[in-house]
Amino acid sequence: MKAEVRVADVGREDIVLGSGGGIRRRMRLYRLPDENPTVRMQLRRRIRLRDARDNALYVCVTQEDGHLIWSSPIYLFR
């Protein structure tokens, strides 16, 4: 992958650069705020569950530095 992006063009919204290849490699560029007072988040989501079987649900959070945090599976039976 080869691209040129001016530093002045990098803001808080993602610029996604990627190849059309089969493994979907891509790079995301964005600028972090100078200060981030946010310490909590809440999300509500409706998820369709399959009947009469286990439903394994995971939570994945992207941290400010780009690292991912994955939960253990949460199993729901309907």
Cβ neighbours for 57, distance < 8 A, ≥ 6 positions apart: 47, 73, 74, 75, 76
- Read off the pLDDT of each residue in 59-65 and give the average, rounded to a whole number: 85
pLDDT reported for residue 19 = 67
Is the backbone of residue 64 left (phi > 0), alpha (psi -120 to 50) or beta? alpha
Residue with tokens 């569950």: 49
Whole-angstrom distance, CA of residue 13 vs CA of residue 77: 38
- State pLDDT tens for residues 5-48: 999 999 988 898 886 667 778 888 888 888 888 888 898 999 99
Whole-angstrom distance, CA of residue 39 vs CA of residue 15: 25
pLDDT reported for residue 37 = 87
- Read off the pLDDT of each residue in 65-69 and give the average, rounded to a whole number: 86
> pTM for the complete prediction?
0.52
